[in-house]
Amino acid sequence: MTKPYGSSLDDHLDAEVARDASLADTAATIRALAAAAIDVSETVGRGSLAGDLAAQGEHNSDGDVQKALDVIAHKRFMQALEEAPVAQVASEEAEDVVALKPDAPLAVAIDPLDGSSNIGVGMVVGTIFGIRPVTRDQGSDDPNASFLTPGTTQTAAGFVVYGPATTFVVTLGNGTRIFTLDRAAGVFRLTHDAMKIVPSANEYAINASNVRHWDGPVKSFIEDCLRGTEGPRDRDFNMRWTAALVADAQRVLIRGGVFLYPGDNRKGYAQGRLRLLYETAPIAFLIEQAGGAATDGQNRILERVAAKIHERSPLVFGSTEEVECVAKYYDGRQPSAGRSPLFGQRGLMRS
């Protein structure tokens, strides 16, 4: 249900804390992140007037070249988290976990700037975060321990889209909501309440330039979508790929469909490109809270446990029936993909 010009993000966080007092620290952390997001939004909105935001610097934890805006966003969000009840941060832009307040209760995983390849061409970018309790195992001195837990331990997750509008999408485990920045007031206002992803939709998102690197199930699933009414899916599909996970996730939340970033045969891509802690687990929490599903192709993302903080994971999410359909291609229950002789012999992508 859409409620234009609704209550503010602050009002919503107050209501969540009234519902469950144990969320007070989580809510305080979200307030700090939202304030930083407004600042980053202003920088993004100035585009080239803010300088060369795509200027290349060092390599980050994953081997990607950091751009100026990656570093600006990382610094601004770290500054915000220093003021919040946060003990540890795992950021895409920091090799190791950053220790903040030693006795604070929360650990935050963050992708300060998602969609980095869009910086410099004026396209949409964002921020993704997941909040968990700190793990203080007696006898364990592993600084990563708080992050090496299933995504089900997240107390909240969210993302920001810096697009034509700046939106703050958040869940504290009680539904997923979109707040849109009222720039004049400097306030995020509720625009999409308690979202419900439609169970089925005729739209998919995948970087199709990787087709030759995909494994059989992904190739077959996409090929059958491409066959449209002439294939076993028996309906036509549309395709979208924004190169920013946040923008694709917002579209799926609003009008459904399915997003795939599978593992593939490229060197280093066996687990795809997206990182479990600060990309796939937060998105999975938001999608499930909106009635959708999120898997690595077959298994629920929220049950995956990272072995290291920058671990990657394949990601399939969106409308439940579409995500389930992808799983069928993995376990051999797909809708007769090879049924038609024409299909088998002249498959668009079969080798």
Ligand X SMILES: O=P(O)(O)OC[C@H]1O[C@](O)(COP(=O)(O)O)[C@@H](O)[C@@H]1O
Residues found near ligand X in the complex (CB under 6 A): 64, 92, 111, 114-117, 207, 243-245, 273
User: Of the two residues 188 and 278, which places its CB atom closer to ligand X in the complex?
Assistant: 278
CA distances from 288 to 14, 294, 304 (A): 23, 7, 15
Selected binder of Mg ion within 111, 224, 248, 264 (CB under 5 A): 111
According to the annotation, is 336 in a ligand binding site?
no
Region near Mg ion per CB under 5 A, out of 88-96, 100-108, 155-163, 317-325:
88-96
According to the annotation, is 96 in a ligand binding site?
no
According to the annotation, is 116 in a ligand binding site?
yes
- How far is the C-alpha of 208 from the C-alpha of 219, rounded, in Å? 10
User: Of the two residues 114 and 223, which places its CB atom closer to ligand X in the complex?
Assistant: 114
User: Of the two residues 29 and 242, which places its CB atom closer to ligand X in the complex?
Assistant: 242
Phi, psi of 343, deg, nearest 5: -65, -45
- How far is the C-alpha of 323 from the C-alpha of 112, rounded, in Å? 27
According to the annotation, is 48 in a ligand binding site?
no
The three-class DSSP label of residue 25 is: helix
User: Of the two residues 114 and 203, which places its CB atom closer to ligand X in the complex?
Assistant: 114
- How far is the C-alpha of 98 from the C-alpha of 95, rounded, in Å? 9
Q: Half-sphere exposure of 183 toward its Cβ, with a 13 Å CA cutoff?
A: 10
For 232, counting Cβ atoms within 10 Å of its Cβ (0-12 exposed, 13-18 middle, 19+ buried), the class is middle
User: Of the two residues 16 and 70, which places its CB atom closer to Mg ion in the complex?
Assistant: 70
- How far is the C-alpha of 224 from the C-alpha of 280, rounded, in Å? 25
Residue of 227, 219, 224 lying closest to 335 (CA atoms)? 224
| CB-based contacts of 20, cutoff 8 Å, min separation 6 | 172
- Supply the minimum distance, in Å, between the C-beta of residue 171 and ligand X: 19
248 binds Mg ion (CB under 5 A): no
User: Of the two residues 237 and 317, which places its CB atom closer to ligand X in the complex?
Assistant: 317
According to the annotation, is 62 in a ligand binding site?
no
- Supply the minimum distance, in Å, between the C-beta of residue 52 and Mg ion: 18
Secondary structure letter of residue 52 according to DSSP: -
CA 345 to chain centre: 38
- Supply the minimum distance, in Å, between the C-beta of residue 129 and Mg ion: 11
User: Of the two residues 114 and 224, which places its CB atom closer to Mg ion in the complex?
Assistant: 114
92 binds Mg ion (CB under 5 A): yes
224 binds Mg ion (CB under 5 A): no
Region near Mg ion per CB under 5 A, out of 45-53, 112-120, 202-210, 306-314:
112-120
Q: With CB cut-offs between 5 and 8 Å by kind, which of Mg ion, ligand X, none does residue 297 bind?
A: none
Selected binder of Mg ion within 72, 77, 81, 114 (CB under 5 A): 114
Q: With CB cut-offs between 5 and 8 Å by kind, which of ligand X, Mg ion, none does residue 318 bind?
A: none
Secondary structure letter of residue 346 according to DSSP: S
According to the annotation, is 20 in a ligand binding site?
no
For the chain, helix (H) and strand (E) counts, in that order, are 8, 15
Residue of 86, 135, 79, 131 lying closest to 110 (CA atoms)? 131
According to the annotation, is 174 in a ligand binding site?
no
Q: Which residues bind Mg ion (CB under 5 A)?
A: 92, 111, 113-114
In the annotated binding site for substrate, the residues are 114-117, 207
In the annotated binding site for Mg(2+), the residues are 92, 111, 113-114, 279
In the annotated binding site, the residues are 92, 111, 113-117, 207, 279
